Amino acid sequence: MSRGLVWLFATASGLSVANVYYAQPLLDALAQTFGISQAAIGGVVTATQLGCALALLLLVPLGDRMDRRRLMAIQLLALVVALIVVGTAQSAAVLLAGMLGVGLLGTAMTQGLIAYAASVSGPHERGSVVGTAQSGVFIGLLLARVFAGGVSDLASWRGVYLSAAALMLMLALPLWRRLPALKTVSNAMSYPRLIASMLTLLRQEKVLQIRGVLALLMFAAFNIFWSALVLPLSAPPYGFSHTVIGAFGLVGAVGALAAARAGRWADRGHGERTSALALAALLVAWWPLSLMDLSLWALIVGIVLLDLGGQALHVTNQSMIFRTRPEAHSRLVGLYMLFYAAGSGLGAISTTATYAYAGWQGVCFLGAAVSLSALLFWIATRRVHD
């Protein structure tokens, strides 16, 4: 695959996923515009995440029975409409409906592009291509908050969503012209059977089961850290603003840059070795993170290790899963990302309660325990691939 096409996949994936995360730094402005209480404004994020879950179950699998190029075009145009609906919303009900659509279509585009990239790449380069596309996703996720904050300062929160709609429209022509055509499955199963087949895939594919559990534990550890970080950093003695706290997330870009290399190692048959190193980094990261009270440099080192291990494992997981069923890439990525969603939710729920009872050290102990569980699970199941 040409380098230009690989970077088109990465750019498109990053811009698609960013739409899902623009709302997070804008919640105060949204609450003020629509007269929603601070307690209830979290429903905006809930609506977006509900859209994400529905996309993984109902839209992403369509890539296994439809012309992927046409599907991408339809979803992109529908996403532009959803972004315009949010940007011009005059009531809370319309805002929530638009956010549901943004979560649904932004996620469907992102994961559909990852599956597309896997399907059009050769077996010898699949891990590397998926790793580069995944780097785009991670950078898009990180920069979404920075973009939303900067544009909202210049043109209000509505400007963020209208600008995002314009960016997606600009992406439409290059995607339509550059995305390779794939053979349409002649005996494509019906939509109900397609969705039902996901349960069969989950039951039959041991690699998906194992890598899914690793993803659940890894993303739980991620969210244990990121959901709790704002609590100590916004309180004395630090008292950092949300902008400064968000800047710590940019340190994680180092992890994104390592993701493609992890994919290349997986292409060469070193998936298990890469997994071991990634899980070790994930576990070791909690030691410098626990020293945050002594040094913010320790926090930065911990963030780099956490994101390095997490992204390397994520790319390796996808590379190994995509080798199992070439005809089911879309369903496989949908199922895998459901494990991710479950882990993210469990991590976010558990960490705030832990912080309330045991402080930052309790959070670090919980994160280390989950990371250790992931390493032990890998040790117990690694021979399944032999």
pLDDT tens by residue, 108-153: 999 999 989 988 888 888 888 888 888 888 888 878 877 887 888 8
- The answer to whether the beta carbons of residues 280 and 375 sit under 8 Å apart is yes
Domains present along the chain, CATH in parentheses:
1-188 (1.20.1250.20), 191-386 (1.20.1250.20)
Q: Which tokens belong to 43?
A: 């429903």
Could you say which residues of the chain have pLDDT below 50?
A: 186, 386
Q: Could you tell me the pTM of the whole model?
A: 0.83
pLDDT of residue 258: 66
- Collapsing DSSP to helix, strand or coil, 187 comes out as coil
pLDDT tens by residue, 66-115: 888 899 999 999 999 999 999 999 999 999 999 999 999 999 999 999 98
pLDDT of residue 384: 64
Phi-psi label, residue 205: left if phi above 0, alpha if psi -120 to 50, beta otherwise: beta
Q: Other CB atoms closer than 10 Å to residue 184's CB: what's the count?
A: 11
Q: What interhelical angle do 27-34 and 92-120 show, nearest 10? A: 150
Sign of CA dihedral 79, 81, 83, 89: negative
pLDDT of residue 183: 66
